[in-house]
Structure 1
């Protein structure tokens, strides 16, 4: 019996080895033929074999395992000419492909619509991908192209306010969005008090927003992930692009380090409102400082066929000051060092060392009477990711990372004659880590699944003091901790799963579930966020936020993928949410946790999106019907109330019409119901002063918001080596006075209290000139 069993096992092993020997791996990279940039998400399709194919990863790499034979391999990417290559698989093959844009001619090309239905065929849902090309003609405030303003036009995404670059996703808070720039977190993504984002479109290659169904590799935020990837630089030849606008100018330079092996890019942008202020006859305005700048740097080099390194960085800062009376300064600095290594035909690895630094400073007075408050957060992150292409039906991703957080709540410096006392709040430290594994699996021709598990941990530690507080927010005891001594440890499992059922090649049904832990929290009294908002870690008093979300959707394409339609519903529950007590003091408070209260929330909604992607007339219509509610024992006696992100109806329409080879017109229309807000319900007199009386939290609404933006782009010249254009736009074209602030003031004639509305913008025209060579 034993001999028979051994013989059977030997035969099975031999058959397995023989079967495996008949399978070979096709791998390589897909790049842009014009500049050598890696193409993310390009489709590698096996012609005539249903369900067989692969998609390139963030670095343009793909791997596909097939049985021995001869195949027609089609490489496709939207906006580019598809290429078909015949591949003989009698051994492992490496095949790098360069694709050209559709406007150029190329032999051996098949233009295929296969990749255009990726929204139907892919398992992922609640995901939006944005190319910088998408924002070139869309009208925006001051004519400054801004990817975040494009994101705000998508269903499920709400703006933080008039012209603001902050956003909330599916009822979450501003701090529940993880914003990554080449893997580095950006803690404040706004310039000029929120009217612009830190992302210079000329330096950006790809943007992906995950509203739900997040891959297991991402974590740390409860609502969304926005993954922004910088350009690598032109590996073929020197190139330059730039633009001159009414309030800012920018310049980008890129060139090979060694042709087809390495490249670099340098991109800078600066506003010059302060230069115009110096021409003013008003002495106060002459001494006013008002500008921002940002600088993007990146370089990469292919050391061997299997090894490639990347170095990238971002540096940006805002400065605002009024004479010698007061001033703001805030900025971000990030750095990423990455090493790509292909271990074998199936295993791809990426090792990253990441640095992020966000800080702000607030000044009052000057010289000996100067008072300065500084705050910020610094991170060091070591991250390892692997992709294992098991076979044509399974792709496994796994990895780990560890982050060292350093929170700087507040440092005060004063002049010799300042009336303020110099005192610092103790810095806070924490270590955050994670392990994850995920599999993308195809089952038959109709089913596909993505499922994984993420384990996250957070250790709040010394050196420093921790205090205990009671239910009324009173400190009851304090305890000192030494360096690296654990004060409070949290951890949890975060399951992620999504499934797709292909009804036919034109439509599909999808479902997704994910759980997210968030260990860091933003304290703010404003609805749109400000530079002085303060990040705090989970501690012995502050628990991590937990969000569970389930979503389902129907996806359908029409007329050969000319039209894309999707309808998604979602439901989200959130635990351990943070809010502030009425009258809380959050700025420079050494025991800020005494000002906080904790509760739960839920959000649910319907999202509709209709896009036209082909032809002279393109655009999309986005509509969201949603609610976002909160429940806190210490607010409104535990009654459910709307969150600040609660906006019931949200509609946006974007239209782009290329009516002439050199002329393109565009328009946006935005409408949404008024945001929830806390207004005084009355007033009373105390010590001879009128004091507002507040009842329910967020019990009132701003008036409904709507506006229309118009744009016109004139392409003056476009050749293979040079391109120039003028962009004309009008923000809020019909001058709608949408309220930015509503104050309650006493009427001088009647003595009655009345609401006074302040509108930030009426119609704002802008003009800019852009070039590229």
Structure 2
């Protein structure tokens, strides 16, 4: 009943504004904005009219725009970061289709960017949204020269690295599993290679990256902390082209071209490491018989069926293999597939229908003393998604849609050889149907005031077949109930209201405020500090409730010095409900009753984010600083008092500089600093039958030492002709060789068994690399 009241109240708020948004007489101007060289559509391009100050639109995810204006003469201005501004004179006497292709300005890139983006981030960019260009990503120095989207994201304010060798990252107090990472709309559950050293996203295959930290649009849901919306290239529909690189541990190749010029295109990108090639040459049979590699493959094709229809088919397949001869190993990987259909009903109504598949799985093999045991686990999603964009009039745009996701989770299955002394184990599969509908309204109330508001209604239904358990306070099973296939176990309904307001103070500055509620129904169980790929995913159940987050944020945004500089300062507060932590010595792997080892409570996160970016000139880059706090209060931990969450880092600093010395050389540097993560260490020990047993006084009562690192890079342009370009990229990861802690362990001092040694493990000191890149 309470939920129904909330929905009715929101409808009463929306209704007067919808009535106000009556369509005025006029004609529509619509079309698609593309890249001149490749034919790629440009998402987020600005379309404005000089005679209508404060009015304009931004192209949607597929480069489409539409705006309705009274008849008359207009000067239309189209701009996009990194491209030359296009100006068109229009005599609007009827509905018009105006599709344009933007070029990069014949070498005047930086000056053109400034003119074209003067106020985009001030009024048109929603609060909490940041975009990264692929060129920025490729210029940032990283480990072993492998350009990394997720590592670059971690240089932005409010985004925190989990550390070297960790696969996750934290956004505004959220856990690593509370980030929705999308690749062409398909969720990617484990976005890391080689235990977190690299991400699964090959930069050569990616078109653009958008990060939402707050002010979440109603179209997104399913995670609490953030959305990383990553889109693959559509492929060059003008001519065949390619790019690639050869590095110390990996090589990559991207090929793309037209299926039919101006109508359809394809792209194929592959990447593989070859450490195993070198280990295979070793005379040591243990080394030569071991495997250590990863690969990924991106594929995409699209075709325009007619004036109003376009279809896309894209997929990603990646895998890691790590094994030691005679001792077993582990492999893990993601697979995604997306089929989409764009349809234009008329000049104002745009539709996209998507069928989406996503799977993450891992396999672990243990071999010893003639025992061979293989453990597997997986999570699989099947999704139908429908979105509509209605460009009602110059001041009003409506987005509505729905999605259905069928989750199948296999927590674990162990199979052994017949000669093994171990018994086979199969944990019960979990089934759930996650549905959502949403509606949102983008209202340009005046030339200076923009309001985006809406609601998302998420419904999770837990389904059979399977047993459902209840437990007492000690974790013992009280009741067991069997549900047949398709029978409903429990249903959770959660409304998610969203609101974002932007007010432009003057030509160069604005203030933005936002509120959003988010719901999460898929949870990652991990009570170690290693972020292992063998962590377990658990859906919401009769015991584990959906996690909820309510976030408010407010910020000041400004461009200055003729828009060469961009500045923002933002504060946020987030309240978290139904957070998960674990009992001491919890068993999360191979446990059919893992819910009995879980504890639940609440959390809070608050912080202050600052960001200044120089966008043009020979020297560009940015500085970000975040001051924040993240805490949890879990019943049964630390006497039910608030304590620092694992991801609590008080200070985060990132300084990135890119210097174009001349037409041959470009230099770059990135320095990062953050407070060490909160950890649980023993407070003392006592002997039990001669064996030391450690005593833990509090959860997360200690901290790792502060983390800091300087990375350097230099790129030498070797050849630059219209048909072929190549360069050499040199990089040094951790240039001053600081020993950042990966883990700290406690062990008996061999010289004095009564005392304990503290042993720090460091993964990387100084790591140089060189990569040859080419493009044709």
Same fold (TM over 0.5): yes
1:760 Cα deviation after fit: 0.9
| CA separation of 1:113 and 1:605: change in aligned 2, threshold 3 A | same
Q: Which residue of 1 aligns with 2:98?
A: 95
User: Is the 2:255–2:268 contact (alpha carbons within 8 Å) kept by the matching residues of 1?
Assistant: yes
Aligned pairs (5 A) from 1:595-614 = 595-614=597-616
Could you say what secondary structure the match of 2:121 adopts? helix
Q: Which residue of 2 aligns with 1:625?
A: 627
1:49 Cα deviation after fit: 2.0
User: Is the 2:114–2:564 contact (alpha carbons within 8 Å) kept by the matching residues of 1?
Assistant: no
1:57 Cα deviation after fit: 0.6
1:750 Cα deviation after fit: 3.5
Aligned pairs (5 A) from 1:673-688 = 673-688=675-690
Q: Which residue of 2 aligns with 1:421?
A: 423
User: Is the 1:410–1:425 contact (alpha carbons within 8 Å) kept by the matching residues of 2?
Assistant: yes
Q: Deviations over 1:469-488 (max 9, x none)?
A: 12222211101001110111
CA distance in 1: counterparts of 2:196 and 2:437, whole angstroms: 35
> Which of 176, 201, 204 is matched with 1:202 structurally?
204
User: Is the 1:141–1:163 contact (alpha carbons within 8 Å) kept by the matching residues of 2?
Assistant: no
> Which of 721, 736, 744 is matched with 2:738 structurally?
736
1:430 Cα deviation after fit: 0.3
Q: Which residue of 2 aligns with 1:68?
A: 71
Q: Which residue of 2 aligns with 1:717?
A: 719
CA distance in 1: counterparts of 2:281 and 2:671, whole angstroms: 36
CA distance in 1: counterparts of 2:452 and 2:472, whole angstroms: 44
> Which of 650, 653, 660 is matched with 2:652 structurally?
650
Q: Which residue of 1 aligns with 2:173?
A: 171
Could you say what secondary structure the match of 2:647 adopts? coil
Aligned pairs (5 A) from 1:555-634 = 555-634=557-636
CA distance in 2: counterparts of 1:748 and 1:368, whole angstroms: 33
| CA separation of 1:342 and 1:366: change in aligned 2, threshold 3 A | farther
Q: Which residue of 1 aligns with 2:40?
A: 37
| CA separation of 1:20 and 1:388: change in aligned 2, threshold 3 A | closer
CA distance in 1: counterparts of 2:728 and 2:75, whole angstroms: 44
CA distance in 2: counterparts of 1:101 and 1:571, whole angstroms: 40
Normalised to the residue count of structure 2, the TM-score between the two structures is: 0.95
Aligned pairs (5 A) from 1:661-700 = 661-700=663-702
CA RMSD of aligned residues (A): 1.6
1:112 Cα deviation after fit: 6.5
CA distance in 2: counterparts of 1:646 and 1:677, whole angstroms: 10
Aligned pairs (5 A) from 1:391-470 = 391-470=393-472
User: Is the 1:278–1:285 contact (alpha carbons within 8 Å) kept by the matching residues of 2?
Assistant: yes
Q: Deviations over 1:346-399 (max 9, x none)?
A: 100000000001110100128973210110011100000000000010110000
Q: Which residue of 2 aligns with 1:231?
A: 233
- The number of equivalent residue pairs is 754
Q: Deviations over 1:684-712 (max 9, x none)?
A: 11122001111100000111111111100
2:271 paired with 1:287: no
Aligned pairs (5 A) from 1:102-251 = 102-103=105-106, 113-122=115-124, 124-251=126-253
| CA separation of 1:59 and 1:114: change in aligned 2, threshold 3 A | same
Could you say what secondary structure the match of 2:661 adopts? strand
Q: Which residue of 2 aligns with 1:659?
A: 661
Q: Deviations over 1:254-308 (max 9, x none)?
A: 0100000000000000000011111223221111100000000000000011000
Q: Deviations over 1:195-225 (max 9, x none)?
A: 1110000000011111110000000001111
CA distance in 1: counterparts of 2:707 and 2:694, whole angstroms: 26
Could you say what secondary structure the match of 1:593 adopts? helix
> Which of 732, 748, 751 is matched with 1:749 structurally?
751
Could you say what secondary structure the match of 1:234 adopts? coil
2:56 paired with 1:27: no
Could you say what secondary structure the match of 1:51 adopts? coil
| CA separation of 1:415 and 1:25: change in aligned 2, threshold 3 A | same
CA distance in 2: counterparts of 1:762 and 1:509, whole angstroms: 42
CA distance in 1: counterparts of 2:53 and 2:205, whole angstroms: 38
CA distance in 1: counterparts of 2:619 and 2:121, whole angstroms: 20
1:529 Cα deviation after fit: 2.0
Could you say what secondary structure the match of 2:742 adopts? strand
Q: Which residue of 2 aligns with 1:768?
A: 771
| CA separation of 1:33 and 1:366: change in aligned 2, threshold 3 A | farther
Aligned pairs (5 A) from 1:373-384 = 373-384=375-386
2:88 paired with 1:46: no
User: Is the 1:159–1:165 contact (alpha carbons within 8 Å) kept by the matching residues of 2?
Assistant: no
User: Is the 1:368–1:414 contact (alpha carbons within 8 Å) kept by the matching residues of 2?
Assistant: no
2:549 paired with 1:547: yes
CA distance in 2: counterparts of 1:549 and 1:290, whole angstroms: 42
User: Is the 1:160–1:528 contact (alpha carbons within 8 Å) kept by the matching residues of 2?
Assistant: no
Q: Deviations over 1:117-167 (max 9, x none)?
A: 311122511111112111212110111000001001011111111154420
Normalised to the residue count of structure 1, the TM-score between the two structures is: 0.96
2:512 paired with 1:510: yes
User: Is the 1:367–1:415 contact (alpha carbons within 8 Å) kept by the matching residues of 2?
Assistant: no
CA distance in 2: counterparts of 1:40 and 1:165, whole angstroms: 29
Segment of structure 1 superposing worse, 155-164 or 267-276? 155-164
Q: Deviations over 1:207-247 (max 9, x none)?
A: 11111100000000011111110000000000010000000
User: Is the 2:297–2:316 contact (alpha carbons within 8 Å) kept by the matching residues of 1?
Assistant: yes
Q: Which residue of 1 aligns with 2:89?
A: 86
Segment of structure 1 superposing worse, 128-137 or 220-229? 128-137
CA distance in 2: counterparts of 1:29 and 1:367, whole angstroms: 64
User: Is the 1:174–1:529 contact (alpha carbons within 8 Å) kept by the matching residues of 2?
Assistant: no
CA distance in 1: counterparts of 2:631 and 2:33, whole angstroms: 45
Segment of structure 1 superposing worse, 371-380 or 45-54? 45-54
User: Is the 1:149–1:165 contact (alpha carbons within 8 Å) kept by the matching residues of 2?
Assistant: no
Q: Which residue of 2 aligns with 1:12?
A: none
Provide runs of 4+ in structure 1 moved above 4 Å. 19-22, 109-112
> Which of 511, 528, 531 is matched with 1:529 structurally?
531
Q: Which residue of 2 aligns with 1:8?
A: none
Q: Deviations over 1:631-678 (max 9, x none)?
A: 011101101100000000111101110011110011111111111000
Q: Which residue of 1 aligns with 2:708?
A: 706
User: Is the 1:161–1:528 contact (alpha carbons within 8 Å) kept by the matching residues of 2?
Assistant: no
User: Is the 2:78–2:116 contact (alpha carbons within 8 Å) kept by the matching residues of 1?
Assistant: no
Could you say what secondary structure the match of 2:286 adopts? helix
Segment of structure 1 superposing worse, 692-701 or 528-537? 528-537
1:582 Cα deviation after fit: 0.6
1:749 Cα deviation after fit: 2.6
Could you say what secondary structure the match of 2:425 adopts? coil
1:731 Cα deviation after fit: 0.3
CA distance in 1: counterparts of 2:533 and 2:675, whole angstroms: 27
1:528 Cα deviation after fit: 5.2
CA distance in 1: counterparts of 2:224 and 2:261, whole angstroms: 43
Aligned pairs (5 A) from 1:256-271 = 256-271=258-273
Segment of structure 1 superposing worse, 270-279 or 412-421? 412-421
| CA separation of 1:424 and 1:644: change in aligned 2, threshold 3 A | same
